[in-house]
């Protein structure tokens, strides 16, 4: 169940927008398997191209430092994430979540097609029901 949570957290960390890169989708597919026995282990995920291809810590730390030192030059994306999105978007998302809860239970899929549909919904930013 922890690897499933990692997959969902990865989606949420994608700055509110689902990443469409093939490596990210493959990473999520490795995390979001219905059967826990089929999910990759943490050790296997560390070797996945999406993780293995990340920039070195030194570069990431430098980017974080730069971001913290000059926040006024950054787009308002962080502000949007922290303060929420426009009210209409929130209402639409709440409505979509309500519909998702009625129709989709990630842990109750009977077929591979249902599991794939749930994964696609997760990629589109819908949280686990």
User: pLDDT, tens digit, for every residue of 96-107?
Assistant: 666 555 554 444
Question: Token pair of 12, please?
Answer: 């949420």
Which residue from 34, 37, 36, 38 is spatially nearest to 110, judged by alpha carbons?
34
Question: CA-CA distance, 95 to 101, in Å (whole number)?
Answer: 10
Helical spans, DSSP H, in 32-56:
42-46, 49-52
In a 10 Å sphere around its CB, with 0-12 CB exposed, 13-18 middle and 19+ buried, how is residue 5 labelled?
A: exposed
Mean pLDDT of 22-35: 87
Mean pLDDT of 12-31: 76
Question: CA-CA distance, 88 to 95, in Å (whole number)?
Answer: 11
Out of 13-17, 33-37, 48-52, 57-61, which region has the weakest mean confidence (pLDDT)? 13-17
CB 16, CB 123: distance < 8 Å:
no
Mean pLDDT of 64-79: 62
Domains in the chain: boundaries: 2-53+85-123
């Amino acid at each position: 169940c922890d690897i499933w949570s990692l997959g969902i957290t990865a989606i949420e960390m994608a700055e509110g927008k689902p990443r469409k890169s093939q490596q990210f989708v493959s990473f999520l597919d490795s995390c979001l398997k219905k059967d826990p026995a089929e999910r990759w282990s943490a050790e296997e995920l560390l070797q996945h191209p999406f993780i293995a291809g990340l920039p070195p810590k030194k570069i990431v730390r430098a980017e974080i430092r730069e971001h913290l030192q000059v926040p006024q030059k950054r787009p308002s994306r962080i502000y949007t994430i922290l303060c929420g999105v426009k009210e209409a978007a929130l209402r639409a998302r709440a409505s979509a979540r309500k519909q998702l809860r009625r129709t989709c239970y990630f842990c109750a899929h009977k077929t591979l097609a249902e599991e794939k549909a749930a994964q696609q919904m997760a990629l589109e930013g819908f949280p686990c029901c």
